[in-house]
Amino acid sequence: MSEGRLSPFHGLWALTNRELKKWYKEPVILLLSLVQPILWIGIFGKAMNFASMFKSASIEIPGLTVPKQIIDEIGSLVLKQTFGTTDYFSFLAVGMLSFIVLFTSMSSGMTIVWDRRLGFLGKLLTTPVPRGSIIVSKVIASIIKSLVQATIILLIGVLLGLRFSFGLFAPMAFVITYLSLFLLSFGFSSLFLMLALRSTRWETQMAIMNLLNMPLLFSSNSFYPISSMPWWLKPIALVNPLTYANAISRWALLGITPQVSVILSMLYLVAFAAIFTTLGITLSWRYLSL
Amino acid sequence: MNEPVIKVSGLTKIYPGGVLAVDHISFEVHEGEIFALLGPNGAGKSTTIGMLTTSLRPTEGEAIIAGYSINREPSRVRSVIGVVPQEFSADEDLTGWENIMLIGYLYGLPKDTVKKRAAELLQTVGLYNVKDKKVETYSGGMRRRLEIAIGLINRPRVLFLDEPTLGLDVQTRAAIWEYILKLKKDYNMTIFLTTHYLEEADAYGDRVAIIDRGKILVIGKPDELKRNVTWDTLFIEVSGSYDSAKQALSILPQVKEVSFVNGQIVIKVADGPSAIPLVVSAINSTGQEVKRLSLNRPSLDEVYMYYTGKSMREESMSKEEAFALRRTLRRARS
């Protein structure tokens, strides 16, 4: 018979480990989840080559010859003004880091729906494991998955031609990038777990994911800067946490000056993570303690 | 008798929407007993077990399990009980070993202890040689054995079995019961089980509580319950005169009723097996021989029928339970 006082976090690692085991034991699923961002980088990023638009020959207007050099100069200027860099591929590749984090964190909600459907959650609730540990273990596992997948995307980006132009001391640039992705994953995992808490149908959860996936992506600065958005989209982009994670990563890895200061962006992400984690844990405590 | 290991008083569950699933039930279960909660589907068995295992909060009432209150100390209760849920609960993507180890850790047990117990339990239920295979490859019987082994990882004082043999074929059911009885003996636990199989409650329950529509109708030893509501029936064929045999039998104090049906003497007695020698010698004393004698003992269904006016076998399944059963069957793949 087991005795007495258990720490409020006991079982946390055992549960996290379970989630991770299920993940790395199925490399096919891991690889499949990487397909989308790789397609975006590999095809979209390579084909949407803004730089080539201006890399034409000189222009002959009657009475005036604009030399190629000037065209190139104007091109760089326009690109720099729009994207903050002349290298759209790198701009997009770094933007895809937050995309994979969003995607991976979203699917963490599915795991709780499956656990409920397959009776595992019910079994967990008959053990003395703290109710908070059930949710927190899923959040931690989701963060680890997200960061590993982001690293894979980053490496693939580098292989395909992503060029760093660090805004600060290189190791620090990575630390800051990962910190922003960590916070992003923290918030999104908690949010989607919270949405999935009471759901017994995985179809519902899938629908929620599909509904939010693209809008979240397209209302952020993942593909294009906020400055080029229509007026009505800008405020949405400024609430979207993806925007801040992208801004921080691009500042750190590509040296692109962000619209909102890095510190404020980071604080925004901290608040995002803190609010949804608190909500998630509070609600899970309530719903799972039935 | 010692302090009961389960003491339930006035336990009630009303689900949101006003469905009264369990209606002020009270009973006690003693140390070392196999206590069976018998009832048709939808009677309130799973709700009762849900409240006792702290996964459902009672609307009213209290239960004390091994000294802990399900309302005030649910976490303590959880650490002294083992639960084998009705639906398979093991993680199919993990191996049997990983499943049992994981649950062991959730009880806060040290690694060495969990390892030792897991190996021992898997040996006992005959799964040690497949412990490193994924659970999705297990048959229905193997899964149920795994669930039982997992339910015992914390050496519980009380093991709760919710329909332990649901959806299994007859041979597998018998095998599962062999394991349950062996484990009960090895670990000296109290077992609380729900079932809608009359034969199981009868054969394995030390005491049975019959539940219907959320109310406990009667509690007792299976034999006592049957004796209280109905009689054993003896069918006798004799060589010679039925009349004198009938007369000799009707004066026996054990015999409640004598009739003559289809060329057989039919008598009702309280306890068939112990009445047989008396009946035979009474007939012999009239100078006749017993040619043939058969005994029909009532089942718990007669007891159920006595209290409810309907047969449990005919009770239809609720939609939800039918769904759960289908799902369990589908997943059993055996």
The lowest-confidence range among A53-57, A91-95, A182-186, B72-76 is A53-57
> Region A57-74: what's the mean pLDDT?
77
What integer best gives the mean pLDDT of chain B?
A: 86
Backbone angles phi, psi at B160, to 5 degrees: -100, 125
Question: In this predicted structure, what is the pLDDT of residue B9?
Answer: 94
Confidence of residue B219 (pLDDT cuts 50, 70, 90): very high
Residue of A nearest to B93 (CA): A22
**pLDDT tens sequence across A101-117:** 998 898 888 888 888 88
B75 domain-assigned: yes
| Judgement on whether residues B158 and B110 belong to the same structural domain of the protein | yes
The lowest-confidence range among A76-90, A155-169, B82-96 is A76-90
Q: Is B259 left (phi over 0), alpha (psi -120 to 50) or beta?
A: beta
Question: In this predicted structure, what is the pLDDT of residue A2?
Answer: 41
| Judgement on whether residues B103 and B86 belong to the same structural domain of the protein | yes
Q: In which residue are the tokens 């040690």 written?
A: B128
| Judgement on whether residues B55 and B134 belong to the same structural domain of the protein | yes
Predicted TM-score of the model (pTM): 0.81
Query: Is residue B29 within 8 Å of residue B221, measured between CB atoms?
Result: no
Residues 47-106 of A with CB under 8 A from B: none
A60 domain-assigned: no
| Judgement on whether residues B199 and B68 belong to the same structural domain of the protein | yes
pLDDT higher at A285 or A216: A216
Confidence of residue B327 (pLDDT cuts 50, 70, 90): low
End residue of a domain, out of B184, B209, B226:
B226
Chain A / chain B CB contacts < 8 angstroms: 88
Strand partners, B194: B37, B162
Structural domain boundaries, residue B291: 231-296
> Region A78-88: what's the mean pLDDT?
78
Contacts of A100 (CB under 8 A, 6+ apart): A33, A34, A37, A146, A149, A150, A153
B325 domain-assigned: no
Query: Is residue A97 within 8 Å of residue A177, measured between CB atoms?
Result: yes
Q: Which of A222, A260, A253, A211 is nearest to A238 (CA)?
A: A260
End residue of a domain, out of B194, B211, B226:
B226
End residue of a domain, out of B226, B260, B281:
B226
B16 and chain A in contact, CB less than 8 A: no
Question: In this predicted structure, what is the pLDDT of residue A280?
Answer: 84
> Region A168-175: what's the mean pLDDT?
86
B53 and chain A in contact, CB less than 8 A: yes
> Region B4-18: what's the mean pLDDT?
91
Question: In this predicted structure, what is the pLDDT of residue A167?
Answer: 72
Q: Is B111 helix (H, G, I), strand (E, B) or coil?
A: helix
Q: Which of A224, A119, A104 is nearest to A153 (CA)?
A: A104
Specify the number of domains making up chain A. 1
Question: In this predicted structure, what is the pLDDT of residue B333?
Answer: 37
Can you point out the beta strands (E) in B196-241? 207-212, 215-220, 232-239
What integer best gives the mean pLDDT of chain A?
A: 84
Specify the number of domains making up chain B. 2
pLDDT score of A191 more than 60? yes
Burial class (CB in 10 A: 0-12, 13-18, 19+), B307: middle
Contacts of B143 (CB under 8 A, 6+ apart): B88, B90, B135, B331, B332
| Judgement on whether residues B39 and B182 belong to the same structural domain of the protein | yes
Of residues B93, B94, B107, nearest to A128 (C-beta): B107
Q: Which of A169, A154, A179, A149 is nearest to A268 (CA)?
A: A179
CATH classification of the domain holding B292 = 3.30.70.100
Question: In this predicted structure, what is the pLDDT of residue A40?
Answer: 82
B331 domain-assigned: no
Interface test with A, best of B70, B77, B105 (most A CBs within 10 A): B105
pLDDT higher at A9 or B208: B208
* Nearest-CA distance B329 → chain A (Å): 13
ipTM: 0.80
| Judgement on whether residues B132 and B274 belong to the same structural domain of the protein | no
Strand partners, B269: B232, B255
* Nearest-CA distance A238 → chain B (Å): 41
| Judgement on whether residues B220 and B239 belong to the same structural domain of the protein | no
| Cβ contact, residue pair B106, A18, below 8 Å | no
> Region B132-153: what's the mean pLDDT?
91
Confidence of residue B78 (pLDDT cuts 50, 70, 90): very high
pLDDT score of A204 more than 90? no
Question: In this predicted structure, what is the pLDDT of residue A3?
Answer: 43
| Judgement on whether residues B207 and B243 belong to the same structural domain of the protein | no
| Cβ contact, residue pair A1, B75, below 8 Å | no
According to DSSP, residue A256 is labeled P
A69 domain-assigned: no
| Judgement on whether residues B239 and B207 belong to the same structural domain of the protein | no
Token pair belonging to B283: 């007939």
Of residues B53, B83, B91, nearest to A18 (C-beta): B91
CATH classification of the domain holding B56 = 3.40.50.300
| Cβ contact, residue pair B106, A129, below 8 Å | yes
pLDDT score of B228 more than 90? no
> Region A39-46: what's the mean pLDDT?
82
Most confident of A10-19, A56-65, A189-198, B58-67: B58-67
The lowest-confidence range among A200-214, B284-298, B305-319 is B305-319
Structural domain boundaries, residue A240: 12-47+84-288
Token pair belonging to A151: 């690293």
